[in-house]
């Protein structure tokens, strides 16, 4: 479905359009809009943390927390800002963000560009959340000499402010970052971060490019270190059949072509964990039917990003409307009942 501003935004460079969208959302937050009525059927939870609905904004859309209130105003039950690094960094050279319109996809090689923890957390601290949950996604600086220390700094600073904190080791755009998804390096990282979080739920975001053995290792490490949820996943460096001219750009691919891989990896994580840890699905979710399928496959929450580029600001309410209808059709009184059902 198109939306009125799409032709204008698509006439602009993708990163410029992104910046204008965030600006518009920050302005929207200052305008009076009626809040959506709570719908008990859409409620879900991860551990002790309840969510008014299971639809979240994935990290990367609002890296610095400039549009938190505007995003909640669109109807999302959770907004995950970031990735924030301890020190501000500019990211990779431009151009670094590409729309693949024919594929309903995006390729990015942003490289954790952000204004740093201090500035981002200052915005998060004062943002009105209503019934929404604010996640803060943290990462390591590109030039970090001790990446574990960077993550610990992020977790300890964000935990008193966030409803949950996400350890992001899934980005393909910071050299060597994905190495932290394996073996002793992963255990060391998770143990250190768990010690820094206090009582705040801690999530782990991993890549959909992991193979079955790596998925097993991630699940064992996450459960062993008392991580509350696994987010599967981020962008992929694989390239399914694509039609757009920009298909050869380097970076992570997101959007519709990622859906099949994301579904498979969600199933892999669910199979490896046997339901012992909560799961959050991301990648190629663009409809209520797709969100519902991921929930039935084991996800307690779902996250969107690229679909917003193509579907516009009405996406959240459309997904939630259709999700409510599907839950009612199948006799579920809330989302939590439908997870892996």
Helix (H, G, I), strand (E, B) or coil at 158: helix
Contact 65, 126 (CB under 8 A): no
Cβ-based neighbour number of residue 34 at 10 Å: 6
The set of residues, in sequence order, having a beta carbon less than 8 Å from that of 184 and lying 6+ positions away, is none
Annotated catalytic residue within 26, 156, 170, 171: 171
The set of residues, in sequence order, having a beta carbon less than 8 Å from that of 93 and lying 6+ positions away, is none
Cβ burial of 125 (10 Å; 0-12, 13-18, 19+) is exposed
Active site residue 254: no
Helix (H, G, I), strand (E, B) or coil at 282: strand
Radius of gyration of the chain measured on its C-alpha atoms:
18
The set of residues, in sequence order, having a beta carbon less than 8 Å from that of 199 and lying 6+ positions away, is none
Contact 98, 108 (CB under 8 A): yes
List active site positions: 171
């Amino acid at each position: 479905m198109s939306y009125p501003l799409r032709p204008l935004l698509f006439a602009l460079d993708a990163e410029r359009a992104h910046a204008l969208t965030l600006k518009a959302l920050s302005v929207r937050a200052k305008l009076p809009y009626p809040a959506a009525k709570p719908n008990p059927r859409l409620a879900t939870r991860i551990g002790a943390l309840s969510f008014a609905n299971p639809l979240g904004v994935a990290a990367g859309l609002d890296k610095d927390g400039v549009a938190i209130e505007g995003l909640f105003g669109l109807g999302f039950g959770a907004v995950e800002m970031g990735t924030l690094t301890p020190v501000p960094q500019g990211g990779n050279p431009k151009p670094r963000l590409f729309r693949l319109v024919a594929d309903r996809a995006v390729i990015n090689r942003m490289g954790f560009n952000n204004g740093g923890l201090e500035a981002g957390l200052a915005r998060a601290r004062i943002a009105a959340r209503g019934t929404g949950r604010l996640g803060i996604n943290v990462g390591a600086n590109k030039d970090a000499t001790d990446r574990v220390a960077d993550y610990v700094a992020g977790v300890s600073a964000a935990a008193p402010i966030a409803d949950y904190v996400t350890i992001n080791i899934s980005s393909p755009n910071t050299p060597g970052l994905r190495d932290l998804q394996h073996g002793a390096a992963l255990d060391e990282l998770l143990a250190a971060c768990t010690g820094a979080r206090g009582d705040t739920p801690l999530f782990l975001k991993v890549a959909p490019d992991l193979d079955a053995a790596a998925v097993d290792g991630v699940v064992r490490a996450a459960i062993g270190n008392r991580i509350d949820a696994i987010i599967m996943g981020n962008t992929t460096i694989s390239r399914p059949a694509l039609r757009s001219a920009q298909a050869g750009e380097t970076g992570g691919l997101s959007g519709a072509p990622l859906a099949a891989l994301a579904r498979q990896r969600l199933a892999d994580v669910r199979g490896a964990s046997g339901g012992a840890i909560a799961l959050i699905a991301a990648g190629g979710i663009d409809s209520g039917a797709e969100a519902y399928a991921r929930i039935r496959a084991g996800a307690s929450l779902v996250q969107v990003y690229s679909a917003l580029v193509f579907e516009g600001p009405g996406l959240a309410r459309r997904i939630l409307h259709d999700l409510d209808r599907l839950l009612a059709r199948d006799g579920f009184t809330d989302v939590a009942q439908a997870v892996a059902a």
